[in-house]
Structure 1
Amino acid sequence: MAAKKNKDTAGTGTIALNRQATHDYFIEERFEAGLVLQGWEIKSLRAGRAQLKESYVTLKNGEAWLLGAHVSPLASASTHVMPDPIRTRKLLLHRRELSKLIGHVERKGYTLIPLALYWKSGRAKLEIGLVRGKKQHDKRASEKERDWQREKQRIMKQR
């Protein structure tokens, strides 16, 4: 039997997901944005040390910013850099996308939240969602629908 190769997941796939987002919001549209990061942040992301749970996106002066995302610094980070795990990070979007987002957020009352952080062609990308908040009864309906889908799969599997 041949030995299994240990695939290194650094540099491929998903870094962090915001699972709470689909529970709390109706996701209307998704956008992909680049991130302006420092060197120690890239190393931490390659190690998978990021969290999006309490983060959000804000628009200021025609630019998009990621607030509240936590990127834990590695112990081996450079000694001359003082890492700030929850610093505000600039998002890179096309001007057309920014103007569309500004219109939806300011006029229609939508919110921008990060959904996923992942690698694409060796670069860190952030998927942001244009969302509307769910009311409590909407959350219950979604949970009921999810339970029904799960039960339906169990019934089909038994047959």
Structure 2
Amino acid sequence: MSKKTAGKDKANGGGTIALNKRARHEYHLEERFEAGLALQGWELKSIRAGRANITEAYAVIRDGELFLFGAQMTPLISASTHVIADAHRTRKLLLHKHEIDQLIGRVQRDGYTIVPTALYWKANKVKAELALAKGKQTHDKREASKEKDWARDKQRVMRSHNKNA
């Protein structure tokens, strides 16, 4: 990697902007898509400052287009002097037509939900990772946490066993 590309990655905050950890807890995530975001200038500045949050966000299909609701990008005081900034503005998601058609079919036919799982940088552009998701029941959430705890305990035991051997 050259020095020029390394500098650009640091200027953009390095890769991941925001994660939606709650989505992994609340939903069974099945298929993932990468979408672009139609942003305004002040939103990009607030993202670079680390003020993006997608924990309450979800995507909706309207008139054959995909929109992101509930994503919060808190405006910087110095960046939005001439624009009235709305932190919870509805943002358009940019996908290919065949991807949107595929999402429409799965949502209407199979009852899936479209949930954003991450925001990240890709070649100086902000991308959103979307996932087709089905909601988890309470017992599924308990089972997932038990499996996570067991995996952690198993790793701990294996580590201690390998130190003693």
TM-score when scaled to structure 1? 0.93
**Which residue does 1:124 correspond to in 2?**
126
Alignment check: 8 A CA contact 1:10 1:47 kept: no
**Which residue does 1:37 correspond to in 2?**
39
Q: RMSD of the TM alignment (CA)?
A: 1.2
**Which residue does 1:17 correspond to in 2?**
19
Distance 2:46 2:76 in 1: 6
**Which residue does 1:152 correspond to in 2?**
154
Distance 1:30 1:149 in 2: 25
How far does residue 9 in structure 1 lie from its aligned partner after superposition? 3.9
Unaligned runs of 5+ in 2: 1-6
How far does residue 48 in structure 1 lie from its aligned partner after superposition? 1.1
Read off the aligned partner of 1:73 and give its amino acid letter. Answer: P
**Which residue does 1:62 correspond to in 2?**
64
User: Percent sequence identity over matched residues?
Assistant: 58
Distance 2:158 2:98 in 1: 46
Q: How many aligned positions are there?
A: 153
Structure 1 residue ranges (4+ consecutive) displaced by more than 6 angstroms after TM superposition: none
What does 1:128-147 align with in structure 2 at a 5 Å threshold? 128-147=130-149
